[in-house]
Amino acid sequence: MTHITLIRHGQANTEARDEASYDRLSALGHQQAAWLGDHLAETGSHHPRIYCGTLTRHIETATAMGCQEVIQDPRLNEMEYFTMAQAMEQQFNLPIPQEREGFIEHLPKVFQAWAANKIDAPPESWQAFEQRTQQVLSDIAEGDGPALVVTSGGFISMAMRQAMGLDTNGMARVALAIMNTSMHRLFPIGGHLSPVLFNAVPHLDSTERQYAQTHL
């Protein structure tokens, strides 16, 4: 097994409340990704294998980072959160938040309903999302050399759930904490992938860049 560094995409369209509108980087998202790419180059980070999902925001992030020969894998794509949020609004009269603070209560409710199979006809079941997350990370871990993976916050939170045995509420708290272009590393210990890095943004730590430490 080899270690895997997961990266959340750059800031996307923060005004969006549906999947299609959300799936593109903002100007700040492009800048965050470029800074991360510069940081990895300056520190001599070695990743002979680079992966990303097939969503536009994943591909744009990898491109802005300056990544070459990126392997696209749809198993690295995000859950369709806004689609399920719309279903929750129709079924349970739960409004979709219009500001970041509202998601602090909204996201755990969506996760709980989804995991309990209470959302009618979701785009993907909770169990399917669990399985594809586990399978793609296992496949990547079996390859040669460290891997860099550009994906989304929900996928990363599921990876952390599996690595740490988190319950649904714990996974929701992790998902809410994940910043744009943050790095998260899974390292093989005793035959299992264990977290050794979470939510690292060294490329955004300087005083003049702290404004770019975004969650949405």
Report which of residues 99 and 207 the model is more confident about: 207
Can you tell me the mean pLDDT for 79-103?
A: 93
Can you tell me the mean pLDDT for 126-152?
A: 97
Q: Is 16's pLDDT higher than 90?
A: no
Q: Is 60's pLDDT higher than 90?
A: yes
- The pLDDT-based confidence of 6 (bands split at 50, 70, 90) is very high
**How does pLDDT run across 65-79, given as a tens digit for each residue?**
999 999 999 999 999
Of residues 206, 205, 148, 146, the one with CA closest to residue 179: 205
Amino acid 1: pLDDT: 79
Q: Is 58's pLDDT higher than 90?
A: yes
Strand 183-189 and strand 147-151: the pairing is: unpaired
**How does pLDDT run across 182-212, given as a tens digit for each residue?**
999 999 999 899 999 999 999 999 999 999 9
Question: For residues 28 and 126, what is the distance between their CA atoms, to the nearest angstrom?
Answer: 31
- The pLDDT-based confidence of 216 (bands split at 50, 70, 90) is confident
Amino acid 38: pLDDT: 98
DSSP string, 43-97: TT---SEEEE-SSHHHHHHHHHTT--SPEE-GGGPPP-HHHHHHHHHHHH--PPP
pTM equals 0.96
- The pLDDT-based confidence of 17 (bands split at 50, 70, 90) is confident
- The pLDDT-based confidence of 37 (bands split at 50, 70, 90) is very high
Work out the mean pLDDT of the chain and round it to a whole number: 96
Question: What phi-psi label fits residue 48: left (phi over 0), alpha (psi between -120 and 50 degrees) or beta?
Answer: alpha
Amino acid 14: pLDDT: 81
Amino acid 99: pLDDT: 83
Question: What whole-number percentage of the chain has pLDDT above 90?
Answer: 91
Amino acid 101: pLDDT: 86
Single-letter code of the amino acid located at 109: K
Question: For residues 195 and 152, what is the distance between their CA atoms, to the nearest angstrom?
Answer: 17
SS3 135: helix
